[in-house]
Amino acid sequence: MKFPLSWLRKYLDTRASADEICDALNAIGIEVESVEDPSAKLAGFRIAKVLTATRHPDADKLQVLAVDTGDGQPLQVVCGAPNARAGLVGVLGLPGATVPANGMVLKKSAIRGVESNGMMCSTRELELGEDHDGIIELPEDAPVGIPFADYRGSDPVIDVSITPNRPDCMGLYGIARDLAAKGVGALIPISDVAIAERFDCPVEIRTDDAEGCPAFYGRVVRGVKNGPSPQWLQDALIAAGQRPISALVDATNYVMLSYGRPAHAYDLAKLTGPVVARRARDGEQVAALNGKTYTLDAEMTVIADAAGVHDIAGIMGGEHSGCEEGTTDVLLEIAYFDPERIARTGRKLNLTSDARSRFERGIDPEFLDMGLAHLTALIQHLCGGEASTAVRAGAAPNTPRTVHFDPTLTERLGGVAVPPAEQQRILESLGFSIVAEQAHFDSAWAVTVPGWRPDIDGAPDIVEEVVRIHGLDAVKSVPLPRAEGVAQPTATPAQKLERRVRRAAAARGLNEAVTWSFLPVAEAEAFADGPLWTLANPISEDMKAMRPSLLPGLLSAAKRNLDRGAKSLRLFELGRRYLRGQNGASDERLTLGVVLAGDKTARGWATGKATSFNAYDAKAEALALLAEAGAPVDKLQVMGEAGPQFHPGQSGTLRLGPKTVLARFGMLHPATAKSFDVDGAVAVAELFLDAIPARKGAASFARTGYAPPALQAVTRDFAFLVPASLPAGDLVRAVQGADKANIVAARLFDDFRGAGVPEGQKSLAIEVTLQPGEKSYGEADLKAIADKVTAAAAKLGATLRG
């Protein structure tokens, strides 16, 4: 919310500077986002008087002006404004000045062959209004020659961030109230306004939706003369980020920004019959002031007459009944709408407005009559006219809320000792009223909450009010209690696992990516093995589905990097995927995703052409990271295809038995890569860390000392002829398990197919490592072990090669 300092001072009697006010706002929880001085943009602009105006020799619409800048030497300026004339006092931009509206730097130039030493400016060019039909006309007594910024004066514009729990500060008066409580100044009371009611209201006003619109007040003002607002009002609205429209509309915006009270003005000539707050009908439509047409349903409240809907209640008015330049009679509407109804309607229609932001937070239900009176008085001041009697349909909820409060709670809960008298002063300055519940005033209070503070719900909220006004900096920093001795570890086994795997992935040259947990539905469905979790109220359609896999997000990240010229990508992400569990419960599973794209090795004189990643690279990453995570990789089996997202014949799964899948890896299917707009071959892997079985005794911290074997290990090589379709890993596992007491390792070191190997077979050579125990192996021992190895391999159809 933005406001000029001069506007704030209409409600706060203070001599504090802008810096002092900003410091106070930050101290009481109203965060200042920025402070701007509009006069800074006017550097280089000076008040000047046109001495003569003659027609340009080569252009009918241009004039050559002689301009007095106060230096005694007139400047020649070419100007195309229709109101440029001798005697006019305006604003001249000198060479070197920057035009605020477009950033153009002025310089001396020739326009149609005539030298021009600057530019006479319009209000739009200086961002002081929307008028661009002519140059600024200042009063004749405006001092010629002085900087225009000095003439206008400095009026800093403060931009503050209002948290959702402070609807009272959505109006300047609420901010002034907080500052006065802080001691920055004195709050100027809202004056009572007496409206002369000249005739009975000619319009029937009622509410047929007591739940959505409990109170609907209004009156008619006839004989008004609409037109542009006076300059002071336009300046205030522009500083607040509003666009001046007309005096009638600007008056409603001024009341809203001043008191946080939205209101609306209807052109009475465009209304037919009674004006009613009611539920919309399913399929009913309204053309709103933003130029868009909205389709309504029966859960929404509208303002309508006999002809149809004119207003999405509490959010935006309709364009058909808006005030125009020729409007002479208006119906003023000021109402109280249910905050939850306004919020639901705004979300359904995806429609935001200043009114909605206030109504859905909760406005003061007691400011109906006073708000209507102030709006009426302002319109009569700006546009004239006479007012009718006020019509009050329904009544706003005004049951006072009382909180039982013990002043000693401030020290116990807030950590700062504030005398009861000071607490009373703070609360009363914020609008609370206090009654002692017992004989001693410092023991128990009944605190009545003002209507403009719907956020106050209990005694802790009262403590917060006292502490923030007293000073959060007065709360001492106190360390938390700590038990004697060595602190116990706080990381859980799952956190330790994540840390270990993340470091291992980085050590292997992978770069960590952090992507959204939300995906477009189409991308999520591409990797879904079941029904998706979708959000009923997503931030956007691109974030509607919870990710069933980490690979879509990594592929999108890979695309962004490849599009920006990255040659080789090695990405990983550790996070959770979201599945639908039993009975619709959420099932979150810890997962690690890996994407390898681009060039594996760059082209070079030693390496030749660039090479791409393949499925074995993805498999190697999966095995290495599973080993770091504690999976028994020596027992894993490569089985089946990884899924329809992967290239047939170039993918697989790593399993413990046929059912427990620990990872899937392989090359991405070309159709999948195309759907993500990723060019080239892409190798991916996905590790399901939640499926890794826990080690037996893993909870024990006891460790035995390392004792190296007393005897040296022995290696033996075996070459087998096996069917060409047999995976080498199956043979390695069979050999290693042939004699678990003696065989400690087995690895494949040769895969040969060619001369000497029968058709349909291949030769696999395996190195077997044997570890003797108490004595060295004899020939008989080695032969017995070899027989076991040969027998285990024979079960897979392998024969020892001669």
Cα 766 to Cα 755: distance, rounded to the nearest angstrom: 19
Is 40-152 a domain of CATH 3.90.1150.200?
Answer: no
Tell me if the domain spanning 2-37+156-187 has CATH number 3.65.10.10: no
pLDDT, position 721:
94
Residues of CATH 3.30.56.10 domain(s) within the chain?
Answer: 2-37+156-187, 401-474
Phi, psi of 331 (to 5 degrees): -105, 120
| Number of C-beta neighbours around residue 283 at 10 A | 9
- Contact by Cβ (8 Å): 418, 411: yes
pLDDT of residue 440: 55
465 is in an annotated binding site: yes
Q: What is the pLDDT of residue 602?
A: 87
pLDDT at 539: 85
Looking at the chain, the domain(s) classified CATH 3.30.930.10 span 493-691
Instruction: Supply the Cα-derived Rg of the chain in whole angstroms.
Output: 39
464 is an annotated ligand-binding site residue: yes
**Which residues of the chain are in CATH 3.50.40.10 domains?**
197-394
**455 is known to lie in a ligand binding site:** yes
pLDDT score of 142: 92
Domain 714-800 sits in CATH at: 3.30.70.380
User: 401-474 in CATH: which number?
Assistant: 3.30.56.10
Ligand-binding site membership of 319 (annotated): no
Within 121-274, strands assigned E span 157-161, 186-187, 197-199, 205-207, 215-222, 264-267
The string of pLDDT tens digits covering residues 319-340 is 888 899 999 999 999 999 999 9
Q: Which fold has domain 493-691?
A: BirA Bifunctional Protein; domain 2 (3.30.930)
Q: Identify the pLDDT of residue 699.
A: 47
282 phi and psi, to 5 degrees? -55, 125
Say which CATH class 197-394 falls into.
Answer: alpha beta
Contacts 24+ apart (CB under 8 A), 286-295: 286/310, 286/311, 286/312, 286/318, 287/318, 287/319, 287/320, 288/312, 288/316, 288/317, 288/318, 288/319, 288/351, 289/316, 289/317, 289/318, 289/319, 289/322, 290/316, 290/351, 291/319, 294/349, 294/351
**pLDDT of the residue at 701:** 42
For residue 303, the cross-strand partners are 277, 311
What pLDDT is attached to residue 441? 56
pTM over 0.75: no
* 10-residue stretch averages of pLDDT, the chain, 802 residues long: 94 94 94 89 92 91 92 91 93 93 91 93 86 87 91 89 93 96 95 93 95 95 94 91 93 96 94 94 92 93 93 91 91 95 93 94 93 96 95 90 92 92 95 80 83 94 96 87 82 91 96 94 90 86 92 95 93 93 79 94 86 94 94 87 91 90 95 92 95 68 69 93 90 91 92 90 94 91 94 93 78
